[in-house]
Amino acid sequence: MARGISCTIVKKKIMLDFAKASFNHTSGHHIILSTALLYTAKASFSQSAGHPVILGAIAILILLHAIITSIFSTFKRDVHNKTFRTVYDAASLLSNPDSVLSRGGVGDSIMRYEHLFAGARRETGKTSTGNSIQKRAKEYQKMVNNFYDLVTDFYEWGWGQSFHFAPRKKGESFHESIIRAEHYVALRANIQPGSKVLDVGCGVGGPMRNIHQLSGADITGVTINQYQVRVGNQYCAQKGFGDKCRIFQGDFQNLPGQFDAETFDAAYAIEATCHSPDRRTCFRGINHCLKRGGLFAAIDWALLPAYDAENPNHIRIKEGIEVGNGLPTLATIKIIVDDLESAGFEVVDVFDANQGVHSEYEIPWYYTLNGSFTLNGFRMTRLGRSCTHALVSCLEFLKIAPKGSARVSALLNAAALDLVEGGRKGIFTPCLFILARKK
């Protein structure tokens, strides 16, 4: 008994020392520390041991300290994945010097986005009707643009600059798996020093910079979102890659209107063409841009053979993934392959890169969204997302963050749950690898 009490005292002393240090060295661990202290306080209260009120008060003070300091902090972008690394930076989510949305425009933007998915998560099957899908396909530019205006900051906050999943080996960190997937794409697409390469749907250019660093290729990225163009080109310049990596605003549904025929040696798309309202048109545009024999490598989202279009639970998960990720509708592997072949490609290879997801040597791709409590990966876990949502809600209530910020956070939290469920049931993969050659 005495030993148990002694251990409790030691643990609380460590927590208190950590708390004291955090006031002198402010970092993204504030929110983790506050959560840990609150849980410790709760446990102490239930066991009638220690000083739960004091621990709870310290947790609240740390959060208040972070929020107050955020008002006076200076926002600064950092290509080395540090733009949104501190709690203070939460005050700049959806409201920073690069934003294309006005503070008052966030609420309007999320309302317009949700309108395109009317009935989602309330009535299963509602957003899978032909009319609903056609409405999103017709207004895909507005849908995808609004989506990335709203979520780009949140993705950087919790994920980094490469907005995608990856197969992950035991002992491999999340970020190591991300870079390995990008390098695999580059190697399979035969990207060489001096190759002219097209990045289709490039986001803020995380994969582009990693692939250039590996290969020395000259890479041009296209994204429909102006905010991502601003941010991505800043990061390329900070890396010293401005002459070899550049991002343009453009629509990958109209690549022939933006590039001459046979401009690029290779092309790739990483979790991007799933946003297309008509993949065949998108793939034809990529084919137009490639030199004859050029390779196109892609990682895409897809429904797996286990998906049952008559199963209400499967439909619910599918629709949740779509509304939470700005997708007109998810496609099967067969549909994607057929569209590539119809666009003039020879499909060289296609497989689910997560096919070993339940192997003892693999970490499931969705584990990052539902994983254990760790300092480095905390924001991506379910508990971390809940804490982020609470922080954003608080900042919005205090009128530091724009109105509507909490709704965006809630949208992404719900999407994460659907992704995890789809992965566990084996009906969805975000890592369908495709290699195709222009005929």
Give tens-digit pLDDT for 281-308. Answer: 999 999 999 999 999 999 999 999 999 9
Give tens-digit pLDDT for 30-77. Answer: 454 455 444 444 444 444 444 555 545 555 555 555 555 544 455 677
The CA distance from 14 to 7, in Å, is: 11
pLDDT of residue 368: 84
CA atoms within 13 A on the CB side of 214: 19
Q: For the chain, how long is the longest CA-to-CA vector?
A: 78
pLDDT over 90 (residue 18): no
Total residue length of the chain: 439
Task: Tell me the mean pLDDT in the region 233-256.
Answer: 97
Task: Tell me the mean pLDDT in the region 262-276.
Answer: 98
The 3-class secondary structure across the chain, one letter per residue, is CHHHHHHHHHHHHHHHHHHHHHHHCCCCCHHHHHHHHHHHHHHHHHCCCCCHHHHHHHHHHHHHHHHHHHHHCCCCCCCCCCCCCCHHHHHHCCCCCCCCCCCCHHHHHHHHHHHCCCCCCCCCCHHHCHHHHHHHHHCHHHHHHHHHHHHHHHHHHHCCCCCCCCCEECCCCHHHHHHHHHHHHHHHCCCCCCCEEEEECCCCCHHHHHHHHHHCCEEEEEECCHHHHHHHHHHHHHHCCCCCEEEEECCCCCHHHCCCCCCEEEEEEECCHHHCCCHHHHHHHHHHHEEEEEEEEEEEEEECCCCCCCCHHHHHHHHHHHHHHCCCCCCEHHHHHHHHHHCCEEEEEEEECCCCCCCCCEECCCHHHHCCCCCCCHHHCHHHHHHHHHHHHHHHHCCCCCCCHHHHHHHHHHHHHHHHHHHHHCCEEEEEEEEEEEC
Work out the percent of the chain whose per-residue pLDDT is above 90.
59
| Cα-based distances in Å from 216 to 50, 219, 293, 322, 431 | 58, 9, 21, 35, 25
Task: Tell me the mean pLDDT in the region 114-132.
Answer: 94
pLDDT of residue 53: 55
The CA distance from 334 to 294, in Å, is: 22
The CA distance from 166 to 159, in Å, is: 12
Task: Tell me the mean pLDDT in the region 268-277.
Answer: 98
pTM, two decimal places: 0.81
| Cα-based distances in Å from 52 to 31, 56, 184, 387, 396 | 18, 6, 50, 20, 28
In this predicted structure, which of 112-121, 200-209, 251-260, 335-344 has the lowest mean pLDDT?
Answer: 112-121
- Joined together, the tokens standing for residue 419 give 């992704």
Split at pLDDT 50, 70, 90, the class of 85 is low
Give me the phi and psi of 438, to 5 degrees please. Answer: -70, 130
pLDDT of residue 45: 47
Highest mean pLDDT among 88-92, 211-215, 368-372: 211-215
pLDDT over 70 (residue 322): yes
Split at pLDDT 50, 70, 90, the class of 377 is low
pLDDT of residue 21: 40
pLDDT over 70 (residue 26): no
pLDDT of residue 57: 56
In this predicted structure, which of 7-11, 248-252, 269-273 has the lowest mean pLDDT?
Answer: 7-11
pLDDT over 90 (residue 383): no
Task: Tell me the mean pLDDT in the region 254-266.
Answer: 98
In this predicted structure, which of 4-8, 40-44, 332-336, 432-436 has the lowest mean pLDDT?
Answer: 4-8
Split at pLDDT 50, 70, 90, the class of 103 is confident
Task: Tell me the mean pLDDT in the region 388-398.
Answer: 75
pLDDT over 50 (residue 29): no
